Structure formats: C-alpha cells, structure tokens
Structure 1
C-alpha cells in the first residue's frame, strides 16, 4: 500500500504528531506511533491501552517510512503457526512485520502509562527492537532524534499547524516575559532531555522498553 494521509494510512511507518502544550513549549517532543503493513496506526496512549487506527492526539504531522529490507526480526520472534509444502512436510511460518507489532501490542496492553518512564516512545522503540531494524538498540532517545531529524512533513499545512502554536507562544512569552520566558523554556527542555538521557544510558531500568 502507498502512503495516504487523507485516510491516515502510513504503511510500515513511524508517525508523529504534536502534543498540546508540551510541544508548544518544547518543539522536539511529540506523540509517536508505528504502523502496520496495511497502514493502520498503533500507539500507546494510556494505561493498558494501545490505540488501533485512532491516533490519540490528532492527525499525523510527520512520518518516516521504514525500508523493510533493513528489517531482520529478533531471533525469538515467531508467529507460532505452521505451513505445509507440496510434499506434506510442515515448517514454521516466517515472522512478518505485523507479527512483531502484534506481540508488542499484546505486551503493552499490560503496561501502565507514565510520560516519564513508559510512554509512546517506549512502545515504538520496543517494536523497532522486535523488528531488529538496523540491528536493534532502539530507545526513547535515539528514536526521538531520528524522528526530529529525519521525519518528513505530511504537508505544508501540517507543518504550519505544528509549528504555529510554538511561534505564537514564544512571541507572546518574549513580549510579556522577555528573555526570562525563553530561559525558562530552555531549562524545561534541558531537564526533560537530561531525564531521558540519564534514564536511558545511566539508569537503564528507569525507562521501560
């Protein structure tokens, strides 16, 4: 299937949309999901809840389509079903992209949501590791960097809708609060970034995957 933003279909993609208030202050933070082969979006949106075909915070603004040639699947992934060949012998069915996402969805339906320790980025990183994309090793930090640097805007309208609130908030803040407001936003961004970096690379069990 081809990408079709009008129907919210993004086959084999990572998708991103801004979060109200948080993205307005820290533009590189947003809500992410991962899509099945048919383009349906899956995203971890709350305690024990993975949204299917209903992106939690609105329409997709940015996306990255993954080259399936770079997907090898983790060694433990198995679809759990068998196929018969012409001689009647059985062999295990090869795992698919959707098999990996199905296992990730089943796992996260039993997880509590916490924006600081187990969030939508955790869910997507977990699935990328199941897919063993680029040999795995995905976490919330390198996933956020990938989306921020490589994400493609769905359209110019989506880009304006995502960035305009930030421009307005910063303009009003600079007008009323001066550089104190800008400094406060920078401190907030540094604290959030530092938390996820420390939780990912220094205290590895702090951020759940």
Structure 2
C-alpha cells in the first residue's frame, strides 16, 4: 500500500507535469476558438475566402480573378504554381474582396459516428478534418504534388478542395464555379480603391476597343467571356474528369 503522503505528492507532481506539458506543447485549437478581427492593412482575414483581380485576364473578364483561403490566424493560402502553395504572400496583389466563413457550418468529426454532415464515410474517405486549419494543411499537402493549369487545376481547385474537406455548408460538391460564386456574390469589398482596381482596367479596355474597333470588339470580348464560362461549366458539371478539385 502506498502511504497517503507519497500518493498526494505523486498526484501533485503529475498535475504540475501535465500543466507544463500543455504550456510547452502547442495544442490544436478548437474549431470555435475566437477569431481575431479582420485587418486588411495587415492582410489578415481569419477563416475567409479572398479574391483579387488577375493582370490582363481580369481586364477582359472582370469576374475572373485569383482566389485563396485563410487560416484561423488570418494568414492567406493560395495555389499559384505547380507544386507550390503560397503562405502569407497572396499572389497578384492585395486582397480586393473577402468573405468570412462560419466554422459552425463545417463538419469536424473525431470519428465516423460524429459526422454532422450527410456524407459520413465519403467525407472520411475524402479527408475529413478535426479543425479548420487541419483541413487546409491536408489540402496544402495534396496540392504540393499538383501541376498548375489555369483551365483544369488552378487556385479555385485548391479552395474547392479545402471546402470539400471542411464539408462547408454540409456539402461536398464544391468546385471551381460555386467556390468563385461564393466570394463574388457574397463577398465584401475591402475599399473603394479595390472596386476601382477590379473594374477600371476592364472599362478602359472596353472604351478603347470600342473607340478603335467598334462594335465587333464588344462582340469578340463577349464571345471570349462566354467561351471561358462555357469551358468551366462543361468541365465542372458534365465532364468532371477534366477538372481537378
């Protein structure tokens, strides 16, 4: 039998060790851990989708841009080249538009029985996560072995992959199209200058083309936009084997 005094001392030492271990070991934050405020001046957008216009491409089709997703600490992650995911260095300029996502709409199962989404086994097989940041890390590892292609595997693919791992909104049907629409239709502009940066080049190209070429330029520009939209609709909804998300 262990004397009572020795037993109490052992418990105290164990408690001290546990507290020290917790202090020295960075734990995984709970999915509802309070977030810092959004701070565009420091490029911090906790749990947000972020968007910025692309050079040249957005001048011709302003609805097309570069998209990323942010960790809980606000750091931006974006897939901007083959085998490479940017961390805290958003490609193509400052964030112009953002949308903060609600972590309560994600599924963070500790095991198969704790899924809050309807997918269960499919979600687990795809790559379920226990926290927001855990899902983003898994997608980063996945895309560090992907070849970038603007038509089949791009920044939108990376964001869609993250949303599917999160099962955001109870859905695993995220793709390039609906991920882009989410931030474009529900997102907020960072500032008036961001709006000008997104649309002023397009308006300038439109006016210049109309002045130099006339209405055929408008028809050509419209056809270009429709071809892009048609390709992504075809690839994301009918020929899914062409698109990597």
Question: With structure 1 as the length reference, what TM-score do the two structures score?
Answer: 0.90
Higher strand fraction (1 or 2): 1
Matched, 1:37 2:72: yes
In structure 2, the residue corresponding to 1:42 is in which secondary structure?
A: strand
User: Does the aligned pair in 1 maintain the 2:49–2:98 contact within 8 Å?
Assistant: yes
* Displacement of 1:78: 6.0
Q: Distance in 1 between matches of 2:181 and 2:128?
A: 30
Q: Could you say what secondary structure the match of 2:240 adopts? A: coil
Bigger relative contact order, structure 1 or 2, given CA contacts below 8 A and separation 6+?
1
Q: Is the 8 A contact 2:152 2:242 kept in 1?
A: yes
Unaligned residue ranges in structure 1 (runs of 5+)? 80-94
Q: How does 1:5-154 map to 2 (within 5 A)?
A: 5-73=40-108, 74-76=123-125, 77=127, 95-136=130-171, 137-154=173-190
Post-superposition CA distance 1:56-89 (Å, at most 9, x none): 111000001001111114435466xxxxxxxxxx
| Correspondent of 1:183 among 209, 219, 240 | 219
Structure number with greater Rg is 2
Q: Does 1:201 align with 2:245?
A: no
Preserved contact between residue 128 and residue 166 of structure 2 (Cα < 8 Å)? no
Structure 2 equivalent of residue 173 of structure 1: 209
Cα distance in 2 for residues equivalent to 1:110 and 1:99: 18
RMSD: 1.1
CA separation of 1:78 and 1:187: change in aligned 2, threshold 3 A: closer
- Using the alignment, how far apart are the partners of 1:129 and 1:11 within structure 2? 18
- On the 8 A contact 2:96/2:198 being kept in 1, the answer is yes
Offset at residue 123 of structure 1 (A): 0.3
Shift of the 205–78 alpha-carbon distance from structure 1 to 2, 3 Å rule, reads closer
Cα distance between partner residues in 2 of 1:152 and 1:183 = 30
Separation in 1, partners of 2:70, 2:184: 18
- The alignment's TM-score, normalised by the length of structure 2, stands at 0.77
